[in-house]
Amino acid sequence: MAQTRHFRNVVMLWLIVTVPFEALMIFVLAPGMPPGNGSVQAAGQVTDNTVLFGLATPVTTAVLVFLGYCLYAFRERDHSSALEGPAIRGDAGVQFWWLLTTTTLVLFLAAYGSIRLLQDGSGGGQGPNPIAVPAMAKGDAPLQVQVVAQQWQFDYRYPKYGFETPDLMLPANTMVEFHVTSLDVIHSFWAYQLGVKADANPGVDNIAYVHTLGPLTINVRCAELCGLWHGYMFDTGHVVPQAEFATWAQQQQTLLAPGSKRLPKYSRTYFPSPVRRSG
Amino acid sequence: MSAIAISASRPTKSFWQRLGGFNMFTGIALGIAGWFIGYYAIGENITGHTLTYYKAQAGENDIAVCLGYVLGVVGFLVGMGFANYPVRRMLGHPPSLTEHESEGEGAARYFRLCTDHKVVAVQYLIGIGTFFFVGGLNAMFIRTELLSPNTHVFGPNQYLTLVGMHGSMMMGMMTSGILGPFANWVVPLMIGSRRMAFPRIEALTFWLLMAAGVILVTTIFWGGFQTGWTGYQPLGDEGTAGYDAYIGFFGLVGLSMTLLGLNLMATIITMRAPGMTWSRLPIFCWGVVATAILMVLAAPMLIATLLMAGMDRTVQTGFYIAAIGGSAYLFQNLFWVFGHPEVYILALPGFAIVMELLPVFTRKPLWGYRLAVAGLLGVAFLSFFVWQHHLFVSGIDADLRPFYMLSTEMISLPTGFTFLVVMGTLWRGRIRLTVPMLFCVGWIFNFLFGGISGVFLSDVPSDVTTHGSFFSMAHFHYTIMGGLVFTFFAAVYYWGPKMLNVKFDERLGKIHFWTLFVAFNSTFGPLFALGFLGMPRRVVTYPLGLQGLNDWVSISAYCIGLSMLVFLYNVVKSTVFTREPAEDNPWQAKSIEFSLPTPVPVHDFERLPTFDPDPYPYGVEPAPIGAPVPAGGVA
Amino acid sequence: MGVATATAIVCAAIGLYIGLYLANVPGSAAAVTSSQGTSLYLATVPAAALSDPHNTWVSYYAVNSSGGDWRHDTTYVLPAHTLVHVTIFQYDSPSGIRNQFLSQAQGTTGGTFQVNGAAPEQAIASANTSHIFAVPQLGLSVPLQGVSGTAKNACANAPCSPTANAVEKVTFTFRTPGKGLYRWQCFVPCAAGYIDGFGGPMQTVGYMDGFLKVV
Amino acid sequence: MEASAVHLELEPEPRHWQRRALWVGARLWCGSISFFFVSFVFAYFYLKSLDTNHGWKIGHVTIAAGIGVSIAALQLVSAVALRLSSHRRPGDQLAAGVIALLMGLTAVALQFYEYTILNFGAASGGYASVFFGWTSMYAIFELGGLYWIETQVATMLRARRNGGTGVDHALAQAGFEACSFYWAYFVAIGVLAYVILYIL
């Protein structure tokens, strides 16, 4: 019958289109998927994106092939024609299978995403009480770096060394615990290659974990509109070998001593006088 | 009761006579007067230690500005004649529904309070269309600035104001982009009524929106606002009085939305003609119901949120100021409890229009009517439970993140219903690729990508990179521009001729579609890549390596602009120059609005219609012999 | 037709205003090159000139070597790869630093600055700080000492005079990078009246923000 | 039909449409104001639980308990009177309307009087913000509700003066019912405000 033939055509076309696209996605595009394998968390995101692309591709091609086929096969080419289509008002079987398929997909995605998220936090800001502390962060004390955002610059406070600096420097192969906070408005600390993004809110300590791998250059940008120079709130950070990091930290301690002695006591949040409209 | 007699003619007056009385010009005059009273007569005379200090230091008086806006709007509405009826009611005169319904046939009725739903619809179409084009112009400016990696044409202040104005105008004005013009016009006709349940409120929603638009533009007088359309606090609190204009704008938009939704819902609930049961309601009306639920419930939260921001700026409360017990999260939470339903307020009418138009152009009944209704209502319901996905990296307590991931992804189920309905309706139809149909097909393509990219954003690990980047920007342009604007044009080409009694040039319409479709995808497709490559939203700079993609996007965006000019030319040509009257039923549609003469008379129906069991009586019934055939077919 | 004309006039007026707003870019001032090298002379005032649209806003001005010839410019044109001597005439009083690590100068030659020609300093107390001249892209940031809040002859509005008004003269040198447009800003919450001291002039190019145009 | 005719005889719409529209409209509007005030409820509990910078209550924040209880009581009595009269004779409705109007106006006046005697200002922390924001918005909305009651009272007065001619009694009754429902619902929010702001 006609509709069986049409349906077979659609399925065949779908397979023909999907297989190469799927292969392209998984084998060609996936290895270069953002944000790259700069850290354990970033690599996790690459895997996650690969899974999502892998699942999204057949769904997308299914709809597009179906649409294209309909427009090709069922298009009325005789404009004066008054012919009508068949009066089909639904089909319980199709609806059931559609619902089952989409629900399965959705539940799988939600479960998969949750599992990945709970494993290591995926580099996202988790607020003051993280739910996903990576196993490695529980053992040895991770390196704490406080990211102090202000209009319009990120500063990095290393409580272990007692200084604050505008330069982000991290040791390689180390568990880092970012504490992101803000002194004025909302910013967002986005260390692209590390796969870290955490909003900086005034009065909030937003914790994000990342496990660095080899040496790396990091582009840091503000990802939340923070006013006039939002577009210029960027800097470049580095992941360096551990010995090099130790040397750098020592140098900075000396170099920044005059400023460091004026720093307020280390705290998870700061509330500088808000200077209200009332003055 | 006796039948209502309607007078079709009114005494003619000269142009100058018509200028007097209650109309737009009186409204503007009183609006300006109200501004001066609010700002100078009251606001500048309020004293107080803090205010004096503030005025001396910042050279600004937010209390006066806000009062000026409030009284300006009040003056405008009084001048339009909106106070007349409430005052009469205060004096005890009986209620009436037909007031200002027949304001003659001339163009003047479009410039005054008119409660004919068809007039309000056309007012909406023109008014919203104007702001849509201004918003689009802002987008062109934004893309011009992004032609180069560093500031070059506009300064950073102007750039951010452009970003904010573009976003606010599109989100605020286009929220009513389909419900304003098309639902107001077609819903009463579809359900067999002569008017809306509250005709004066219907007119009010439109004029409130226009007042809001003007207020938004006045932000420039204060130096603009730096917050984008989301208006995050405490950045907004730092802003100059330009942010007061933002508050005034969105506050009025929220009020307009609430009333528009309430009115449409009350109309559909109470004023259905005999035979128009819920199961015979055209799917467009169901879309309107779903959208109206969101409007009625979500928009008031926006008003409250912005009022809190306004109080922080004027009377020194501290809702959003962390140092004195407030929280920036409060704003983010409240804003997105409104904001996520808001994006479905934008998207759902698009679903409804596609499903309404497909049967006409495939010559088939709507496939899966109940599923379609379930899809619309399901999206509306779920949209209240997903807002924290906007806060996935915000540092809010993370415990609920898996829940919001699940609820967000679950929205793809009812959205999937819509897709299934669309696909089922296309299947084995006799598809006529007219201009409205082309735009519907465009919607299927665009919204597919919009929806799929939404899955990436709803997945927390993937969202960490894409959040707040051009990826999310591309995502919502695919859903809103690809979803709402495409269906808006589908509706313009479909109902527009009947509303305006003109015939559009079909060739130009096709040129408009194809250029828009190609340019749209060429503009927003690369933005996904830009987001993945690390470009945040709303920035005026970007790394040198991204210039190629950005320039490509900018040039494509100009092509969108050119495509819109084709549309504008088409509209102006057919409405002003050729003026070829529209046929009564150019699409051989079987819905009731096309059974009426063009132009539709003021009273719509002489006899109230009665309705058949099937809202979509298209197609040839299957042959009675043999088993019924499966539609989509499952192996 | 009357309606159309009126609408057209209103639209044109609005369009013109928007156009003027968009084209509103503050002027630029070039550094002075002499036998002593390249010098840039700036001044900060508690409030812009009375004729300014925001005459209550704190602002930078470009001046000449003797502190005269006031121009309301915030884009400063400098030669590339050159040592620039910057002199800032400080007429504003202190507001205090929000982030204390900025009390230390960074990115200047020797990491120091001089106040009124005295011995080079590395840092100053927050309570004495009026502004911070910072170019984050270059890692440059210099805290600027403010005049005493009780000074009798404090300047109110621009223009001010180094002879008639209380002034602190801050000098430092830094090396310009390659060609490009770099933004500068202030880090002290000095926009009185605005929450966090960061509204108004702190977020408007032409007051406490601007560009270094290195050519 | 002849569209050019000066007078058209139109089939009238069902009379109950307008009455039902009032019924539905009032309930929908209740939904809207619920979400409006839910924002303040949310703000209250959110800011209280966060207590950012120990700023929930800064300094001495003591509320005028007597005034609070008076406002709530006045509103409650007005709502009960109005709602109970909604299915009674117009005479009772008129009396209830006048009572509700007077009590409501007194409540609004008391609210603004309270602002002048409190020992804290709007800037005294999260609680003060919510208190001033919620109560002032409530008072403004209350004036809107009182306007509606006033129109009912005025309509009944005028009808009584005219001897009841030209009045659609069923419609007037529907209007009164919708108004009293809205008022009762609105006052319930007011009582909630009292419980949350004064007792919790």
- Cα torsion at A211, A213, A216, A222 (round to 10°)? -20
Q: Is A136 exposed, middle or buried (0-12, 13-18, 19+ CB in 10 A)?
A: middle
Residue to test with chain D: of A183, A205, A271, A273, most D Cβ within 10 A = A271
pLDDT score of A278: 46
D–C contact: 3+ Cβ pairs < 8 A = no
Q: Residue C177 above 80 pLDDT? A: yes
Nearest-Cα residue of chain A relative to residue D122: A278
Cβ-nearest to B59 among C17, C21, C56? C56
- Listed in sequence order, the residues at least 6 apart from B519 whose beta carbon sits closer than 8 Å to its beta carbon are B556, B557, B559, B560, B562, B563
Interface of B with D in 182-211 (CB under 8 A): 193-194, 197-198
Q: Roughly what angle, to the nearest 10 degrees, separates helices B328-362 and B435-458?
A: 140
Separation CA B98–CA B386 (nearest Å): 42
Q: Tell me which residues of chain B have a pLDDT lower than 70.
A: 1-19, 103-105, 623-635
B565: left (phi over 0), alpha (psi -120 to 50) or beta: alpha
Residue D68 distance to chain B (closest CA, Å): 20
Q: Residue D7 above 70 pLDDT? A: no
Q: What angle do CA B127, B131, B135 make, to 5 degrees?
A: 165
User: What mean pLDDT is predicted for residues C187-211?
Assistant: 89
Residue C198 distance to chain B (closest CA, Å): 6
Q: Residue D58 above 70 pLDDT? A: yes
Q: Does B141 touch chain C (CB under 8 A)?
A: yes
Q: Residue A279 above 50 pLDDT? A: no
Owning domain of residue D107: 65-199
Is the Cβ pair A203, D52 closer than 8 Å?
yes
Cβ-nearest to D126 among B86, B325, B333? B325
Is the Cβ pair B56, C56 closer than 8 Å?
yes
**How many other C-beta atoms lie within 10 A of the C-beta of residue A44?**
22
Q: Residue A273 above 90 pLDDT? A: no
Q: Residue A277 above 50 pLDDT? A: yes
Residue to test with chain C: of B57, B152, B227, B544, most C Cβ within 10 A = B57
Q: In degrees rounded to 5, what are phi and psi of residue A143? A: -75, 120
**What DSSP letter does each residue of B453-483 carry, written as one string?**
HHHHHHSHHHHHHHTTBHHHHHHHHHHHIII
pLDDT score of B15: 63
User: What mean pLDDT is predicted for residues A39-45?
Assistant: 92
Cβ-nearest to B217 among C14, C56, C191? C14
Which chain D residues are closer than 8 Å to A268 by Cβ? none
Note the ipTM here.
Answer: 0.93
Which chain C residues are closer than 8 Å to A272 by Cβ? 98-99, 189
Separation CA D111–CA B166 (nearest Å): 41
pLDDT score of C16: 76
Separation CA C187–CA A228 (nearest Å): 13
Residue to test with chain A: of D52, D56, D58, D124, most A Cβ within 10 A = D52
User: What mean pLDDT is predicted for residues A4-26?
Assistant: 92
Q: Which residue has the tokens 């009124």?
A: C116
Contact B470, B459 (CB under 8 A): no
- Listed in sequence order, the residues at least 6 apart from D163 whose beta carbon sits closer than 8 Å to its beta carbon are none
Interface of A with B in 139-178 (CB under 8 A): none
Residue to test with chain B: of C9, C14, C22, most B Cβ within 10 A = C22
Q: 3-state DSSP call for residue B203?
A: helix
Q: Does D68 touch chain B (CB under 8 A)?
A: no
Owning domain of residue C210: 28-214
Which has the closest alpha carbon to B428: D127, A84, A247, D99? A84
Cβ-nearest to A277 among C126, C194, C204? C194
Total domains in the fold of chain C: 1
Cβ-nearest to B633 among A7, A34, A95? A7
Q: In degrees rounded to 5, what are phi and psi of residue A146? A: -95, 125
* pTM for this prediction: 0.93
**How many other C-beta atoms lie within 10 A of the C-beta of residue C8?**
10
Nearest-Cα residue of chain B relative to residue A81: B430
Contact B460, A124 (CB under 8 A): yes
Peptide bond just before B414 cis, omega within 30 deg: no
Peptide bond just before C26 cis, omega within 30 deg: no
Q: Residue C102 above 80 pLDDT? A: yes
CATH number of the domain that residue D127 is part of: 1.20.120.80
Q: Which residue has the tokens 């705290």?
A: A267
pLDDT digits (tens, 9 = 90+) for C103-149: 999 999 999 999 998 899 999 998 889 999 999 999 999 999 999 88
For residue C27, the 8-state DSSP code is: -
Is the Cβ pair A45, B58 closer than 8 Å?
no
pLDDT score of D1: 36
Peptide bond just before C159 cis, omega within 30 deg: yes
Q: Residue C20 above 80 pLDDT? A: no
Cβ-nearest to A263 among C96, C100, C193? C100
pLDDT score of B6: 44
Say whether domain A140-260 belongs to CATH 2.60.40.420. Answer: yes
Contact A148, A157 (CB under 8 A): yes
Confidence label for A138 from pLDDT (cuts 50, 70 and 90)? confident
Separation CA B511–CA B505 (nearest Å): 10
Peptide bond just before B495 cis, omega within 30 deg: no
- Listed in sequence order, the residues at least 6 apart from B228 whose beta carbon sits closer than 8 Å to its beta carbon are A225, B160, B163, B164, B167, B537, B538
Residue C95 in domain: yes
Contact B177, B488 (CB under 8 A): yes
Separation CA B121–CA C141 (nearest Å): 58
Residue C74 in domain: yes
Cβ-nearest to D53 among A203, A276, A278? A203
pLDDT score of C190: 87
Is the Cβ pair A198, B395 closer than 8 Å?
yes
Residue C177 in domain: yes
Interface of B with A in 220-259 (CB under 8 A): 226-228, 230, 232, 234-235, 238
Is the Cβ pair A255, C111 closer than 8 Å?
yes
CATH number of the domain that residue C144 is part of: 2.60.40.420
Is the Cβ pair A219, B57 closer than 8 Å?
no
Total domains in the fold of chain D: 1
Residue D13 in domain: no
Exposure string for C58-70, b = 16+ CB within 10 A, e = fewer: bbbbbbeeebeeb
Which has the closest alpha carbon to B65: B225, B233, B195? B225
Contact A57, A72 (CB under 8 A): no
Residue B356 distance to chain A (closest CA, Å): 14
Nearest-Cα residue of chain B relative to residue C192: B57
**What DSSP letter does each residue of B548-592 carry, written as one string?**
HHHHHHHHHHHHHHHHHHHHHHHHHIIIIII-PPPPS-TT---SG
Residue C117 in domain: yes
Measured between alpha carbons, how far apart are the two ends of chain B, in Å? 62
pLDDT score of A1: 61
Which chain B residues are closer than 8 Å to A125 by Cβ? 393-395
Residue D100 in domain: yes
pLDDT digits (tens, 9 = 90+) for B243-296: 999 999 999 999 999 999 999 999 999 999 988 999 999 999 999 999 999 999
pLDDT score of B105: 66
Domain ranges of chain B: 21-95, 107-595
Q: 3-state DSSP call for residue C81?
A: coil
Residue C8 in domain: no
Which chain C residues are closer than 8 Å to B149 by Cβ? none
CATH of domain B107-595: 1.20.210.10
Q: Does D52 touch chain A (CB under 8 A)?
A: yes
pLDDT score of B624: 58
